[in-house]
Amino acid sequence: MKRRTGGPSVTGSKTALSKYQRLESIGLWRDTPEGQRREVVVLMGEATLVISDFRSGRALSHWSLPAVQRINPGQKPAIFAPGEDSPESVEIDDEHMLAALKMVQSAVRAARPHPGRLRGLLIGASLLALAGLVTFVLPRVLVSHTVSVVPPTKRAELGMRALDEVTRLTGTPCTGELGLPALAELSERVFGAENTPILFVLPEGLTRPAHLPGGVILLPRSLIEEDAPDALAGAALIEGLRAKQSDPMHGLLYHAGLRATFELLTSGDLPASALDGFGEEFLRNEAALPSVPVLAGAFNTAGLRIGPYADWLAAHGGGEEAAALAAADVPDGTLSPLLPDDSWMALQSVCSEG
């Protein structure tokens, strides 16, 4: 079995995940429980697990690394999934990759709220710092503190809960069989193989790109109806910048309210009803556009043109923002194609039925 490992890149101050950056192994992937097993390359990045076709190297799926779970503990070969309810799975028997995933899961368990150690830490440290102040200070203090201690695995879980609320109004994300791998390929092209967000195309109800906690970017269906992938890629990149500029956990917790936020801080979870009505509020709000220098630098680094997304935005009622984007555009003479034509055609089928 082929594998490649990079040497430890950090010392004790980094996380357990860091020394396993760029670890590769062979695996057998299924897109559904009934699907045929497919030989793939499994690449561990800093925050994602990338599943790629063994022969072509094309990305088939991106998994959030903190959310990866082993679904057959103690059995061989080891089988992993990107979440409890996901239809996907991958079999891995490479000992190096298994050891890395075991360490990752140990690190995730250590970061999760526990009735004992973590809860005691949160109650002991957080309540001592905040108990005397919460009554007298603005809600943003409690929200900001809570956002700072929510671990990645909980962010991913809350992002999926928020997505469920949004899709009650927009319909479920498009899941065309050929389109999803192409969508993952585009995400990797725009953001790189590590820290790659998960892109979802929504069939209706979403008029502008948006983002949720846990590296989730939502894109309107109209973006895949363009002649080329440039506008779609630009929209995804801008949402990635917006998520860095303004942590989406803030908006989610402001909606949930102080009592629910306090419960998340002390018990490690939000009440079941905390996100009721979140979808309506989320679809009404629009995040601020990053500054022109930030936009220009990010697009130049990614090798993307801003113009196509600015044109799409102007055609969909965003004239002022479109003008600001156009001012940050870069020359396109040396930019490489985003996707092969067949991948773009496959991506455009992601919302097709059957």
> How confident is the model over 191-205, as pLDDT tens digits?
987 778 999 999 998
List of E strands, the chain: 23-30, 38-44, 48-53, 59-64, 69-70, 78-81, 89-92, 198-202, 210-212, 216-220
Bridge partners of 81, per DSSP, are 69
Q: What is the pTM of this model?
A: 0.66
Is the pLDDT assigned to residue 12 strictly greater than 50? no
CA distances from 286 to 143, 207, 283 (A): 20, 10, 8
212 band by pLDDT with thresholds 50, 70 and 90: very high
297 band by pLDDT with thresholds 50, 70 and 90: confident
Average confidence (pLDDT) over 252-267: 91
In this structure, of 136-150, 217-231, 265-279, the range with the lowest mean pLDDT score is 136-150
- Token reading at 354: 């059957």
Average confidence (pLDDT) over 270-292: 88
> How confident is the model over 24-74, as pLDDT tens digits?
899 999 998 888 999 999 988 777 888 999 888 888 888 888 888 899 988
Average confidence (pLDDT) over 254-268: 90
Cβ atoms 271, 260 nearer than 8 A: yes
Cα–Cα distance measured from residue 282 to residue 252, given in angstroms and rounded to the nearest whole number: 9
Average confidence (pLDDT) over 124-139: 54
- How is the chain split into domains, by residue range? 18-111, 153-246+287-348
Cα–Cα distance measured from residue 134 to residue 282, given in angstroms and rounded to the nearest whole number: 26
Q: Burial, 98: exposed, middle or buried (Cβ in 10 Å; 0-12, 13-18, 19+)?
A: middle
Say what the pLDDT of residue 8 is: 32
Is the pLDDT assigned to residue 305 strictly greater than 60? yes
Say what the pLDDT of residue 101 is: 84
Share of the chain above pLDDT 90, in %: 32
Cα–Cα distance measured from residue 169 to residue 14, given in angstroms and rounded to the nearest whole number: 41
CATH 2.30.30.40 fits 18-111, yes or no: no
Say what the pLDDT of residue 275 is: 94
In this structure, of 149-163, 254-268, 311-325, the range with the lowest mean pLDDT score is 311-325
